[in-house]
Amino acid sequence: MLIGEKVGKEWTMDKAPQYAIDHVANSKKNIFEFEFLNSLSEKLSSFFGLSSDSLFYIDLGITKHVFLLFFVSFIVVSTLVTLIQGYISHKKNIPNKFMSIVEMFVIYLRDDVLKNFVGDKEYRSWAPLVYTIFFFVLFGNILGLIPIFDLTGLIGKIGYKADMLGKDNILYLLSKGGHTVTANVNVTFAIATITFFAFIAAGIQKYGFIQHWKNLAPSGLPLPLYFVVVPIEFMGLFIRPLALTLRLAGNMMGGHIALIIFITFIFSATAELGGLAGFGIAPFSISLALGLTMLELLVAVIQAYVFALLTAVFIGMAIHVDH
Amino acid sequence: MNPLLTPELGTYVWSLVIFLTVLFVLKKYAWNPLLDFLEEREKDIAESLEMAESAKTNLEKIKDESEKILNKAKKEGKTIVSDSKLRAEESANKILDDAKAKSNEFLDDAKSKIEIEKKRAIKEIKEEVVDLSLELATKVLQRNVKDDDNNKFIKSSLEAVKADEAKS
């Protein structure tokens, strides 16, 4: 994650926070340029009346995170489809090591989450969504922990001299270090949006359009209370996806920032106190980073589980209204 | 604006598109087949467990039945043995009783025959005695015997005979 960066004599201690933020944040430039995407972005934005200098300009360019999204989705789809199709079509039906793990998660989510919260009858139609959220988020989290693009960075430094290719070169941008897509609030907000529409759809499917919105507030309350309960419930409706968004992004972001700050101790010590201090602090710094990486692995699974669990809970709440 | 919280609507749109595509593909090629497969496998397992259970109960039933039959057979055997013993005893007793009764009959018969023979013998002896005494008397009286004497003698002889009779 850091090898690709140029950490040299110009490093000072106060650069560390910005350095960590740059690492986690999306790239400002596109790593691939496609003309049709640019024109599509302009058309889409002008449809909504957004100018190119607007904060909400819809730029469909392939930034670092969009590229990573493609990468993650490719890994998720190829891994799961290969494993599951192989497992099902095999005559003996004995799961291999990876399939056992997938099956463990699938059965656990089905029996303890989906059947529990969504219901024995309704769970089948919502299971694919919850499973996809779990594995998509899980793979996003874990692939963020594997420094794939730091390896490309290392190769870039030694092999093709990425720095010399210019700042706009794809290889240079790709070699700037690995990142977690699920640390980007826009990505998590997109998944939370799907959860949001899923639990509204679940309620409408079960009760019809009007009854579903009536279900928001419990019936049989004294009339004045409705003036309090209805706004609270309505706000809750939108707070749910927002909480999902910030929980996942915040968790992934925080972990990675802390991880980088630990590593920058070495640079800071070297810059401020000399090379010997850098060597002295390295074991301490690395063991902290190692411990935190272990913790991040745990957090990666837990946050994926929490996202999937809460999606199931919200869908279940819309289906089983009796509070 | 903090770069970590900047809205990037492009990324948002891409995320939606990519996630929905992944959802569609995985639903079709991973989750639905896997869920169907798992359900079928669980059904299979449940069925075979049920079958094993029913086979077990069947076996137990058969075992119970065979035990019952065995017990019944044992009981019947016992009753047959005891019955036949009883019957054998009965018939033995009957045979014994019959034999006893027959021997008693024989004995009684023999006794009565003996009695009859005895009576006949005594009668014959008496007749013989009378004849002899008459002969004797005639022989003695060939000489001249008065009527008186004659009567006297006859009388005493008869009394003697009577006394004899009474004795026997």
pLDDT of residue A107: 92
In chain B, residues 19-38 whose CB comes closer than 8 Å to chain A: 19-23, 25-27, 29-35, 37-38
Question: What value does the mean pLDDT take over residues A104-110?
Answer: 92
Looking at residues B105-133, what average pLDDT do you find? 89
Model pLDDT, residue A2: 45
d(CA A253, CA B45): 45
> What pLDDT, on a 0 to 100 scale, did the predictor assign at position A164?
62
User: Is A22 within 8 Å of chain B by CB?
Assistant: yes
Is A142 a member of any domain?
yes
Rounded distance between C-alpha atoms, residue B167 and residue A97, angstroms? 132
Distance CA A289, CA A258 (A): 8
Helix (H, G, I), strand (E, B) or coil at A96: coil
pLDDT in tens, A115-168: 988 888 888 899 999 999 999 999 999 988 887 766 666 666 665 555 566 655
| Among A4-13, A46-55, B12-21, the range of highest mean pLDDT | B12-21
Count of domains observed in chain A? 1
The residue whose two tokens read 């493609």 is A70
Across residues A40-69, what is the average pLDDT?
80
pLDDT of residue A135: 95
Tell me if A255 is assigned to some domain.
Answer: yes
- pLDDT(B32) > 80: yes
Residue A293 lies in a domain: yes
CB-based burial of residue A256 (10 Å sphere; 0-12 exposed, 13-18 middle, 19+ buried)?
A: buried
Nearest to A180 by CA among A172, A168, A188: A188
CB contact (8 A) between residue A66 and residue B14: yes
Decide: residue B33, CB within 10 A, 0-12 exposed, 13-18 middle, 19+ buried: middle
> Could you tell me if residue A47 is inside a domain?
no
Q: Which residue of A has its CA nearest to B9?
A: A58
Half-sphere exposure of A236 (CA within 13 A, CB side): 12
Who wins on pLDDT, A84 or B165? A84
pLDDT at A4: 38
What pLDDT band is residue B21 in, cutting at 50, 70 and 90?
very high
- What does the pLDDT look like over A37-50, one tens digit per residue? 878 888 888 888 77
Q: Which positions in chain A touch B1 (Cβ < 8 Å)?
A: 55
pLDDT averaged over every residue in chain B:
87
For residues A303-316, give the mean pLDDT: 94
Q: What is the pLDDT, as a whole number, of residue B66?
A: 94
| A83 contacts A280 by C-beta, under 8 angstroms | no
Mean pLDDT of A192-216: 87
Top residue of B1, B14, B35, B41 to mutate, by most chain A CBs within 10 Å, is B14
- Residue A45 covered by a domain: no
Tell the burial category of A230 from Cβ atoms under 10 Å away from its Cβ (0-12, 13-18, 19+): middle
* Distance in angstroms (rounded) separating the CA atoms of residues A87 and A90: 5
Name the residue of chain B whose CA is nearest to A90's CA: B37
Contact B4 A77 (CB under 8 A): no
Å from A235 to nearest chain B CA? Answer: 21
Q: Is A110 on the interface with B (CB under 8 A)?
A: yes
Spatial distance between the Cα atoms of A311 and A198, rounded to a whole number of angstroms? 8
pLDDT at A170: 61
User: Are A175 and A152 within 8 A, CB to CB?
Assistant: yes
- Residue-wise pLDDT for A232-274, tens only, equals 888 988 999 999 999 999 999 888 888 888 888 888 888 878 7
Global pTM value: 0.73
Neighbours of A161 (CB within 10 A): 11
CB-based contacts of A74-83 (< 8 A; 24+ apart in sequence):
A75/A139, A75/A143, A76/A135, A76/A136, A76/A139, A76/B22, A76/B26, A77/B22, A77/B25, A77/B26, A79/A139, A80/A135, A80/B26, A80/B30, A81/B25, A81/B26, A81/B29, A81/B30
Which one is predicted more confidently, A95 or A172? A95
Q: Of the ranges A51-60, A231-240, B110-119, which one carries the lowest mean pLDDT score?
A: A51-60
Does A129 contact B at CB distance below 8 Å?
yes
Which residues of chain B does A184 touch, with a Cβ-Cβ cutoff of 8 Å? 8, 11
**Statement: residue A307 has pLDDT above 70:** yes
Question: Is B19–A80 a contact, with Cβ atoms under 8 angstroms apart?
Answer: no
Q: Which stretch of A104-113, A309-318, B152-161 has the lowest confidence by average pLDDT? A: B152-161
pLDDT band of A3, cuts 50, 70, 90: very low
If contacts are CB pairs under 8 Å, which of residues 250-279 in chain A contact chain B? 253
ipTM: 0.86
CB pairs under 8 A between A and B: 130
- State percent of chain A over pLDDT 70: 85
- Could you tell me which residue, B129 or B60, shows the higher pLDDT? B60
**Tokens at residue B25, please?**
């593909």
The pair of structure tokens assigned to A99 is: 């399939």
Domain with A67, as residue range(s), is: 13-28+63-319
The shortest CB-CB distance from B10 to any of A25, A59, A124 is to: A59
Is A46 within the bounds of a domain?
no
What does the DSSP assignment read for B11-22?
A: HHHHHHHHHHHH
Q: CB of B88 within 8 A of CB of B80?
A: no
Q: Helix %, strand %, coil % for chain B, to 5? A: 90, 0, 10
Rounded Cα distance, A314 and A321, in Å: 11
Residue A258 lies in a domain: yes
What CA dihedral angle connects A194, A200, A205 and A206, to 10 degrees? 130
Please check whether residue A90 lies inside any domain of the structure: yes
- CB of B14 less than 8 A from some CB of A: yes
| Tokens 């003698």, residue located | B153
In this predicted model, what pLDDT tens digit does every residue of A166-200 receive, in sequence order?
A: 655 566 656 555 578 888 889 999 999 999 999 99
Q: Mean pLDDT over all residues of chain A?
A: 82
> pLDDT confidence of B104, banded at 50, 70, 90?
very high
Q: pLDDT tens, B91-100? A: 999 999 999 9
- CB-nearest partner of B37 from A24, A88, A184: A88
Mean pLDDT in residue range B7-21? 90
Distances from the Cα of A66 to the Cαs of A31, A300, B168, in angstroms? Answer: 9, 20, 156
Chain A interface mutation, best of B1, B9, B24, B42, highest count of A Cβ atoms under 10 Å = B9
C-alpha to C-alpha distances, A125 to A134, A198, A208, A254, A297, nearest whole angstrom: 16, 11, 17, 35, 30
- Using the structure block, give the residue that is written with the tokens 């027959």: B102
Question: Would you call B11 and A77 a contact, using CB atoms and an 8 Å cutoff?
Answer: no
Between B68 and A229, name the one with better pLDDT. B68
